[in-house]
Amino acid sequence: MATGRTHRPATRSRGIPEATVARLPLYLRALTALSERSVPTVSSEELATAAGVNSAKLRKDFSYLGSYGTRGVGYDVEYLVYQISRELGLTQDWPVVIVGIGNLGAALANYGGFASRGFRVAALIDADPAMAGKPVAGIPVQHTDELEKIITDNGVSIGVIATPAGAAQQVCDRLVAAGITSILNFAPTVLSVPDGVDVRKVDLSIELQILAFHEQRKAGEEVAAPEEGAGAVSPPPVSPHRAPPGAPGADSGRQGPDGDVPAVMPA
Ligand X SMILES: NC(=O)c1ccc[n+]([C@@H]2O[C@H](COP(=O)([O-])OP(=O)(O)OC[C@H]3O[C@@H](n4cnc5c(N)ncnc54)[C@H](O)[C@@H]3O)[C@@H](O)[C@H]2O)c1
Q: Contact positions toward ligand X, by CB under 6 A?
A: 99-105, 126-128, 144, 162-165, 167, 170-171, 186-188, 202-204
Q: Which is nearer to ligand X, 152 or 170 (CB)?
A: 170
Q: How far is the CB of 148 from ligand X (least distance, A)?
A: 13
Q: Is 100 annotated as a binding residue?
A: yes
Q: Is 154 annotated as a binding residue?
A: no
Q: Give the dihedral sign, CA 30/91/19/108.
A: positive
Burial of 73 (0-12, 13-18, 19+ CB in 10 A): exposed
Q: Which is nearer to ligand X, 45 or 128 (CB)?
A: 128
Q: How far is the CB of 99 from ligand X (least distance, A)?
A: 5
Q: Is 133 annotated as a binding residue?
A: no
Instruction: Give the DSSP H/E element, type plus range, for residue 143.
Output: strand 139-143
Q: Is 103 annotated as a binding residue?
A: yes
Q: Which is nearer to ligand X, 65 or 206 (CB)?
A: 206
Q: How far is the CB of 160 from ligand X (least distance, A)?
A: 10
Q: Indicate the residue whose CB is closest to ligand X.
A: 102
The three-state secondary structure class of 266 is strand
Q: How far is the CB of 167 from ligand X (least distance, A)?
A: 4
Q: Is 104 annotated as a binding residue?
A: yes
**Residues of 133-148 as b/e, b for ≥16 C-beta within 10 angstroms?**
eeebbebebbebeebe
Q: Which is nearer to ligand X, 167 or 190 (CB)?
A: 167
Instruction: Give the DSSP H/E element, type plus range, for residue 121.
Output: strand 119-126
Annotated binding site for NAD(+): 100-105
